[in-house]
């Protein structure tokens, strides 16, 4: 009888402990057991390039970005991009939290989908700061010198793509920067630095960006071929056209970087 009572008491204690668990199966806040992190998943590896707003080694700030994804289907095409706080790229594209930022002026940048050939650039672009080293020189030493891109806005009667270099910032200023050659895909995006477009994500800030152009690398021309250039400069028509699926064998994935000990 005494053993039966002890067994019953043990069952009651076990049930009480089970009830203290949260709905999703994780321990309650009072538990001292650490919550295990989710398993790593393999995602496309992008590099993000934008004009540097600080006097440093280059006119371009470029980093590695794996936390990015499309978040809409119909126009406007919206992507969520996650920037690490305190980085040169984040401060150049979204502004510094300690400074007054002009929310009315859109920031422009280019997402570059890396290929397997770019894998050795990941430690340069993702593990070092453009405030400390000249990333353009380091990438050039690996066989990928940065390329100055022409003005991505369609040519007008007053200017041509070959005549004007840089990005129109929206206030009459032209800011140029460089890109990596040979990427699998290029997405030009813009974002206004308003609270409506930014989401606090702890050590990152997520920016909801509008995709304004899509392009591919033309090695014989040494430049990005923007799709709207095939449609007489009609960006709206170009953005509405369906794109063929990217050849996944060309794109670089984070799982491959882990296999090779790069990530």
Tell me the pTM.
0.74
pLDDT the model gives residue 164:
34
pLDDT the model gives residue 3:
41
pLDDT the model gives residue 235:
55
pLDDT the model gives residue 183:
96
Rounded to whole angstroms, the Cα distance separating 216 from 68 reads 19
pLDDT the model gives residue 168:
44
Strands (E), 86-229: 107-113, 147-148, 167-168, 174-175, 178-179, 185-191, 198-201, 204-218, 223-226
pLDDT the model gives residue 154:
42
pLDDT the model gives residue 45:
96
pLDDT the model gives residue 8:
47
- Spans in the chain with pLDDT lower than 70: 1-31, 97-104, 150-175, 195, 231-246
pLDDT the model gives residue 100:
53
Rounded to whole angstroms, the Cα distance separating 92 from 109 reads 10
Rounded to whole angstroms, the Cα distance separating 96 from 150 reads 27
Sign of CA pseudo-dihedral 216, 219, 223, 226? negative
pLDDT the model gives residue 244:
61
């Amino acid at each position: 009888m005494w053993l039966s009572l002890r067994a019953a008491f043990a069952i009651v204690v076990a049930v009480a402990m089970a009830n203290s668990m949260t709905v999703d199966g994780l321990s309650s806040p009072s538990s001292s057991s650490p919550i295990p992190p989710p398993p790593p998943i393999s995602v496309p590896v992008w590099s993000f390039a934008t004009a540097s707003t600080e006097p440093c080694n280059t006119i371009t700030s470029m980093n590695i970005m794996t936390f990015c994804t499309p978040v809409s289907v119909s126009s406007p095409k919206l992507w969520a991009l996650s920037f690490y706080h305190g980085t040169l790229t984040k401060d150049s594209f979204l502004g510094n939290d300690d400074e007054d930022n002009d929310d009315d002026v859109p920031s422009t940048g280019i997402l570059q989908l890396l290929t397997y050939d770019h894998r050795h650039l990941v430690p340069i672009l993702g593990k070092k700061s453009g405030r400390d080293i000249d990333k353009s020189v380091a990438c050039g030493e690996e066989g990928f010198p940065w390329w100055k891109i022409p003005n991505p806005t369609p040519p007008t009667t007053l200017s041509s793509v070959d005549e004007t270099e840089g990005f129109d910032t929206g206030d009459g200023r032209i800011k140029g920067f460089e890109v990596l050659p040979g990427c699998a895909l290029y997405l030009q995006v813009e974002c206004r630095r308003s609270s409506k477009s930014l989401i606090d994500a702890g050590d990152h800030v997520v920016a909801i960006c509008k995709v304004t152009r899509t392009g591919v690398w033309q090695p014989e021309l040494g430049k990005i071929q923007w799709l709207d250039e095939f449609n007489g400069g009609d960006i709206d028509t170009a953005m509405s056209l369906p794109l063929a699926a990217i050849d996944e064998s060309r794109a670089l994935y984070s799982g491959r970087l882990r296999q090779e000990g790069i990530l």
